[in-house]
Chain A
Amino acid sequence: MTGFIVRRMLQAIVLMKFVLIFVFLLLHLSGDPARIMLPDDATEEDIAELRNEMGLDKPLSTQYLIFFRNVLRGNFGESFEHGESALKVVLEHLPATIELAAAAFIMSVIIGLPFGCIAALKENTVYDKSLMFGAVLGQAVPDFWLGLMMILLFSVKLGWLPPFGYGEPVHFIMPTIAAGVFHTARLARLMRSEMLEVLRQDYILTAYSKGLNEKVVLFKHALKNSAIPIVTILGLDLALTLGGTVITETVFAWPGVGRLTVAAIHHRDYPIVQAAVFLLALGFVGINLLVDIIYTYLDPRIQYR
């Protein structure tokens, strides 16, 4: 078990190093911040001077070495736009994104899983069909459209909810639904199909024939065995929500890291983009590591593969 975890962690470190190289190259080859930052009347000399001041005139390899050495010390440099530590700015925006991602994730689990189970147990009934219709709809609706429609209905027409904002529990309602509806719907559909497959297995029939009651069969035998693919999807979903809330953040004026990163990409504010991508990638890798560990609990055979 320990060997398995250590192996996975080493793989994660190597992966993070590649992430750093990739982000660095992608950014540096895609545009020059000095050309973007200066006003329209800037001359070539102005641009050259700013490049020099920002150290952008050094060879790319030198810039990478400086960057990598600083990252090892936890220093992503100073943001070109914000004039302060990029890591500090990103960390300041990160909690809002984590909170939104967590809320959307919890919503998908507490709604998607039970609805998927119900649909499976009531296969081909009206319940099943309406739930699955809802799920298909939930997957098809774009999050920005849903967000704007909710604002128009609940804020403008009915006046029940604030159209934007952050900091109070009520501000979570609409952004959570907008960010979570796709994942909830997907999870419900997946749960249904996994459950149906497990319910058709011989050991379920055996469990029933042993005289076990339905609750024990469902919760102890069926649910645990349908959990492995679900855990994979849950892990991926959580990671994806972390990096994919940018549209919801924009629609609801949510001060998260997604919006910050997109603005930083526009301005080629390398330090912010690098710090944000690094932290989000770290979150992604960390969640995957956790999923791997949970696998070994759900199915002990996995660690020997």
Chain B
Amino acid sequence: MMKKFMIFGMAVLMSLTLMSGSALSAKKDQLLIGMPGDPTTFDPHIRLGLPMLQSWPLVFDNILARDIKGKIIPAIATSWRYVSPTVLELKIRKGVKFHNGEPVDANAIKYSLDRLFDKKIKSRIRNFYRSLTKVEVVDSHTVRLHTKHPDRYLLSPLADFSAVVPPKHYGSNKLKELARKPVGSGPYRLVKWRKGSEMVFEAVSGYWDKSRQRVKKVIVKVIPEPTTRVSALVSGAVDMIKDIPPQTVPMAKSNPNVDVVAGPGPKACSLIMVLKDGAPWSDVRVRQAVNHAIDKDSIIKNVLQGHATAAMGTVVGPNSFGHNPALKPYAYDVAKAKSLMKAAGYEKGFTVPLVVPLGRYLKGVQGAEAIAGQLKKININVKVKPLEYGAWRRNSRSKWKKGYKPYWNYACRNDLALHAAWMYSGLLYSKSTHGGVRSEKLDNMIVGARSEPDEAKQAEKYRKLAAYIREQAFLGFLYHLDEISGKKKSVDWKMRSTGLVIATDAGWK
């Protein structure tokens, strides 16, 4: 009886397995990608997030684009030039059509940028276009962007979050429809989307850049749990995946047909030391002591299993505009840290809470605890407080209010724009609700660098700014996290310096 039951069970299992065989067999005209998440909306003007930035470029063209190394390249705009320090002129590619047949022209560019400022949209992307005052249509294929002040940084959002949409379609359809059924001019069309599970994209015919249509069909499978994602790659259920946690790298490598692609990413982790109400770290010597007392290499080796690079006394990585290659990391030197603490009058140390969001950053809590352990050597008693993400955000954004005592915050910021302006505006500029510094001198330097119209001079100003930030130790400089992805050996794909996995980069060898 038992034997019969087992044979029946096995037969059912085998037949069910065969029924699902389609997912396990790779077809060369399609690519299956396992991603940690999918967008909440396909309306490209509402809000940003990694799933959006990795999915939208399949359906929408941005005004400009980036190559793999992060260099800004032409896209819908074939060229750009500053006709004056506050006027950027864009020449629009001719003969491009949206998937619904509307032409991609100057009016579409104007409509798409103006749409960000439409109150009904409640856009959270418009922050990146703060300096924009007017979009002027010069002729059918020329647009001029007017800014309040010289703003070369505008090129970054134009390359990253400037999806062009067809004006008639987006002007006449309801927002909830547009959130689900996008119409763009990109290389693919979204043909199926089961939220939280799967997105299917099919290549459109006649797209202007064939190099971005390497397969006919892209299927994105949403697999939030990292071990499952790695299992999917190892078992051959998907062709490539994004985000492999360091501890599962050996598992991914267990299949000889799998390549683990790891490299420095744009995410910089730092300690935000809130400079408020006479906190001990208002003294620059204390902040420098903190930087000297943190053994970054040890944390990278033991907590992050080697998958990070020590921060060179900056948060702006080597691939970003405004990076200063001359800067060196704060050396691990406990004796020097102790003498700095003594000179500042804090030989006996102090106690400070360090908040860290749960499940947000790679090994965030463990990293914070390691820091706490190391800082004991200079008598700083760090109390690590892991917080749920929403509570951490509220805490972080409310720090300047009365009743919030000064504290430290463990935060990692992804330099998606590959630009110093992006990092400083979110970490150090006084108006940022996330940052922990309110310094007029620093503000002036940040604004001055951003408003510099000449590219070479701007780079120089950012280098000086980086050196000043390092010297003043406005942050506890920790590390730049690696990006780790995986693919079948037969998949041809290289990692972007932004760390984003965009399916248009991948094809079969």
Contact = CB atoms under 8 A, between A and B. Distances in A.
A61 B179 CA distance: 30
B127 A46 contact: yes
Contacts of B175: 83-84
10 contacts: A31-B390, A35-B433, A40-B433, A41-B426, A43-B433, A81-B47, A148-B227, A159-B235, A250-B225, A253-B222
B441 interface: no
A93 B432 contact: no
Given A35-B393, A170-B16, A267-B390, 13 more contacts: A36-B390, A40-B425, A40-B427, A78-B176, A83-B46, A84-B179, A148-B225, A148-B228, A156-B234, A162-B24, A164-B228, A250-B225, A253-B197
B180 interface: yes
Interface string A8-27: 00000000000000000000
A83 B179 contact: yes
Interface string B164-183: 00000000000110011000
- Residue of A37, A84, A251 with highest tally of chain B CB at under 10 A: A84
Interface of A: 30-32, 35-44, 46-47, 50, 53-54, 78-79, 81-85, 89, 92-93, 148, 151-152, 155-156, 159-166, 168-171, 173, 250-253, 255-256, 259-260, 265-268
A82 B228 contact: no
B400 to A, nearest CB: 8
Is the interface on chain B under 10, 10 to 19, 20 to 34, or 35 or more residues?
Answer: 35 or more
Contacts of A161: 13, 17, 20
Contacts, number: 174
Contacts of A32: 394
A87 to B, nearest CB: 12
- Residue of B124, B221, B232, B235 with highest tally of chain A CB at under 10 A: B235
Contacts of B237: 155, 162-165
B4 interface: no
Interface string B436-453: 000000000000000000
Which 4 pairs show the lowest CB-CB distances between chains A and B?
A40-B426, A255-B197, A170-B16, A40-B434
Given A31-B391, A78-B176, A255-B194, A37 B231 contact: no
B94 interface: no
A169 B47 contact: no
B47 A53 contact: no
Interface of B: 13-14, 16-17, 19-20, 23-24, 40-41, 43, 46-48, 119, 122, 124, 127, 175-176, 179-180, 194-197, 221-225, 227-228, 231-232, 234-237, 251, 388-391, 393-394, 397-398, 413, 422, 425-427, 429, 431-435
Contacts of B124: 37-39, 50
Contacts of B413: 40
Contacts of A155: 231-232, 235, 237
